[in-house]
Amino acid sequence: MEGINKQGANLTNADLRDAILRSADLTNANLTNANLTNANLRYTDLIGANLTNAILRSANLTNTDLRYSDLTGADLRGTYLRNAILKHSDLTSTDLRGADLKYSSLKHSDLTNSDLRNADLTYADLRNANLTGADLKNANLTYVCLTNANLTDAKNYYSFVASDTSKRIVHCVRHDKQWMVKAGCFWGTLEELEVEVKKSHNSNVYLANIEILKNL
């Protein structure tokens, strides 16, 4: 079914496990409760598609266009979403554990209460995204852009403003046995951050928050 045109198709409850839908046009398709486990959806057009409660476990959505799609409650565990376009998409309560979101665009997306544990967000664009209540344990935030993102009540997450230096928001994510910190281009352990702070500006704000994190 590579390159197939299914614009606006009703595929509710469809069993599409291992399906090859590469470069297909599924604009505005209804895939509610569809099973797309291990499906190949690379370069597929899913703009405005309804994927509510769909199962996309380990599916390949590399370079897929999911703008304005509804992925509420979808199972995206281990899914490949590298370079995917998810701008303005609804990912409320979505399970993204272990998902590969490298270089993905999630601007203005809603990730409220989503599960991002062990997700790889390297170079992902999350500007203006809503991450209220999202679980970020073990997430990789290397070079991620979180400008104006809402992280209210995010789990396994801590932040502070570097008010006496850069004025930037410093994002901290709990990993299994330590805190990982994103401060501008820096991404590393709490211990590595402390060394850099003492070496460069010895900021009281940084050092105070480092001590707080050591006890959390």
- pLDDT band at 65; cut points 50, 70, 90: very high
In 135-199, the DSSP E strands lie at: 157-161, 169-174, 179-183, 186-189
Domain 1-155 in CATH 2.160.20.80? The answer is: yes
The identity of residue 166, as a single letter, is S
pLDDT single digits (tens) 98-130: 999 999 999 999 999 999 999 999 999 999 999
**pLDDT, mean of residues 49-68:** 98
Domain with CATH 2.160.20.80 in the chain: 1-155
- pTM of whole model > 0.85? yes
Using an 8 Å Cβ cutoff, are 172 and 155 in contact? no
Q: How far apart are CA 181 and CA 86, in angstroms?
A: 25
